[in-house]
Amino acid sequence: MEKELESLIANLKKELKECSKEADILNVKSKYVGKKSRITEILASLKDMSVEDKRKYGSLINNTKKEMESIVASTLESLENKVNITFDDTLDYDIENGSLHPVTIVAKEVTDCLKKMGFTVVSGPEMESEYYNFEALNVPKDHPARDMQDTYYLDNGMLLRTQTSDNQIRGMENYGAPLRICAPGRTFRNEDLDANHENTFFQIEGMVIDENISIENLMYVMQELLSEVFKTDLKVRLRPGFFPFTEPSYEMDMSCVICGGKGCPTCKNGGWIELIGCGMVHPNVLRAGGIDPEKYTGFAFGIGLTRLAMMKYKISDIRVLNSGDIRYLKNFDIK
Ligand code: FA5
């Protein structure tokens, strides 16, 4: 009896070893511990055994069955842990392809254009420190400019970055001067939402530092970028702006493509959409990045990529871009 029980366990283990699918394991289970299995038969024969044999073999037979069941269970469990994904390519399914998101398209167009001009693409964290998001950018605590960029402060002392300008400091620290970087990424603000304001949107930062860099260089890069994305004549305007990290600072607006500049809810009836903040890098920012402002100058810009996508694809409400509504996004014929 003992020998037979031992060999049942050994054979069960041997057959399970050869199983790679759940269905195979279940077949072996049924063969070895199912209703018609040998161990069930032996268990049933217990009732006809003498009292002495019952005492001798009763617990051994029961324990053997339990052991066999637990061997099967652990084999099934380890198969699950292996995440054995099988792909049934005989199934008939909808093979309609998706397309790139409008923001992804414009981000790629802008970075491709900047790469041609010698920019390196870098990226920084979305969860950022106050130092990189504000302080190193010449925005100390309690500076009124922090009001323009209220954000979500986290329990761990970090914040969700309000701008991709944190990459200016990280870029200078990592690469020094001369420098030519761009950094696309997601940004966050505690905003009142409307047709052109989101709380989660995309920007791309650009920064150039070298000897003798001037505003003319900045204007050239802006023109190249916009003509690459729109491939048509554009109506843009440059006006003085204020950013603590650039001096002088400018804002670049684009004539609203939704209303042709006449005024509509998208441009809040102003006829213009604010697209880009830019300027010459403030000496304090160069110093914070470890660069000598006596030797080097630079320019920086931050383009609102989500708004750029709105203008390129004539999307009248920014909120649709984060909505994940495929029915709406399908309207854009972009691949
Ligand atoms: C900035 O964020 C500066 N970091 C830009 C900059 C970089 C200036 C380098 C100088 C040097 P501003 O807050 O204006 O600036 O935002 C830049 C662009 O992001 C805006 O022109 C707009 O296109 C976009 N933007 C800003 N806020 C929102 C929002 N709530 N929703 C969608 N787009 C926004």
Encode pLDDT of 193-206 as tens digits. Answer: 999 999 999 999 99
Atom of ligand 1 nearest to the CA of 191: 30
Out of 115-119, 262-266, 321-325, pick the least confident: 321-325
Q: Whose CA is nearest to atom 12 of ligand 1?
A: 277
User: With 90 as the cut, is the pLDDT of residue 132 above it?
Assistant: yes
CA 318 / ligand 1 centre spacing (Å): 14
User: With 90 as the cut, is the pLDDT of residue 72 above it?
Assistant: yes
Out of 18-32, 113-127, 157-171, pick the least confident: 18-32
* Averaged pLDDT score across all residues of the chain: 92
Over residues 17-40, mean pLDDT = 91
Give the pLDDT score at 275: 96
Q: How confident is the model at residue 85 (pLDDT cuts 50, 70, 90)?
A: low
CA 189 / ligand 1 centre spacing (Å): 10
pTM of the model: 0.74
CA 334 / ligand 1 centre spacing (Å): 25
Atom of ligand 1 nearest to the CA of 318: 32
Give the pLDDT score at 327: 80
- List the beta strands (DSSP E) in the chain: 120-121, 127-128, 159-160, 179-188, 200-210, 236-243, 246-255, 272-281, 297-304
Task: Report the C-alpha gap between 108 and 305 in whole angstroms.
Answer: 10
User: What would the pLDDT profile of 268-317 be if each residue is shown by its tens digit?
Assistant: 999 999 999 999 999 999 999 999 999 999 999 999 999 999 999 999 99
User: With 60 as the cut, is the pLDDT of residue 255 above it?
Assistant: yes
User: With 90 as the cut, is the pLDDT of residue 90 above it?
Assistant: no
Give φ, ψ of 301 to 5 degrees: -150, 155
Atom of ligand 1 nearest to the CA of 168: 9
Count of Cβ atoms closer than 10 Å to residue 215 Cβ: 14
Give the pLDDT score at 221: 95
Task: Report the C-alpha gap between 131 and 139 in whole angstroms.
Answer: 9
CA dihedral 24, 28, 31, 37 (to 10 degrees): -150
Out of 16-20, 177-181, 229-233, pick the least confident: 229-233
203 lines ligand 1 (CB under 6 A): yes
